[in-house]
Amino acid sequence: MLLLQCGTFVTEWRQEELQRIDETLTGAERKAALCMLLDQETQLLASIGRHKLDADAENREKFIQDFLEKVVLNMSCSLT
């Protein structure tokens, strides 16, 4: 869900920036601003992707740890 919100944020931000560029710049300045915008968008999306991978790994580790704790708890209960 959060990833979807991030994607929406990037889309809205890009549209606002495009509108600002289109309203204020022309010619070579506009083209340069569009290139910069593309670079910024690429960096934002890459950063979101890295954070998603980190969060997925953290969630996987937490799931495994919780599972192992339940297994140990069940084993100790069955031994008594």
* CA 28 to each of CA 11, 21, 25, 42: distance values in angstroms, whole numbers, following the listed order: 24, 12, 9, 21
Residues 35/21, Cβ–Cβ less than 8 Å: no
How many Å apart are CA 53 and CA 9, to the nearest integer? 19
Assign 74 a pLDDT band (cuts: 50, 70, 90).
confident
> What pTM value is reported for the model?
0.70
User: In percent, how much of the chain has pLDDT > 70?
Assistant: 92
Q: Within a 13 Å sphere around the CA of 29, how many CA atoms are in the beta-carbon half? A: 7
